Structure 1
Amino acid sequence: MTTQTRINEIQAIYKEWLAVHERLEIAKQDLAKSSDLMSKLEHFYFDGEYRKIFEQIENGLEVDLTTDGEYSVMSEDAIWNAIHDHDSTLWDFMRFCVKHLDKAGE
């Protein structure tokens, strides 16, 4: 392999990294937004409001639980599963980051 070929190869890798890095910056913003939204869902679910409304519905309160295709937030598992999925994703990100930042462990 010539020196020029090697430089061209590394330049292409760098160019690809720049594109990926730009998407990672957007992903960071999405992660922050996701955590903010999850905080609101957790508050609704764990601070008693969900249970209160759920019991009212069970006792005959008529509400429209029609959605655009996603599960209703009043289904018992929708928010619970979302919380688990969110936490699992955060743990996956953290493990990935620690693995790639912990150079001393190599």
Structure 2
Amino acid sequence: MQDATTDDVPLTTDQAADFLTKLGCPTAAATLETQRTRGGGPPYIKSGRHVRYRPSRLRAHADRKMCEVENTAQVQAALVLPTISQIEEATDADKTPMASIHVVAPARGLTRRT
């Protein structure tokens, strides 16, 4: 059993990357930095300009990113595109698919697909 006080000690970005790699989810510190701005990474704590990660949240993140498989057919099944009903469920109140929403940059008036 792990010591609760040790598990609560927040880790730096480099330490978090090493921690995730040891859990079997190879991650570079640069990847964590990118995920902080783009999303998709583990939750983090920010105090001033210092960023820290809780080990318990890193474990949960690694568990979400990995899945157990017995053969390659299971891996291929996991990579199947979403069904139409799943896409419909992911629409907003206006029935606009989230993948087709346009973001307009007000400074230049440029349109960008997200």
Normalising TM by the smaller chain, what interval? under 0.3
TM, length-normalised to structure 1: 0.21
Larger radius of gyration: 1
Specify which structure has the higher proportion of helix.
1
- Higher share in strand: 2
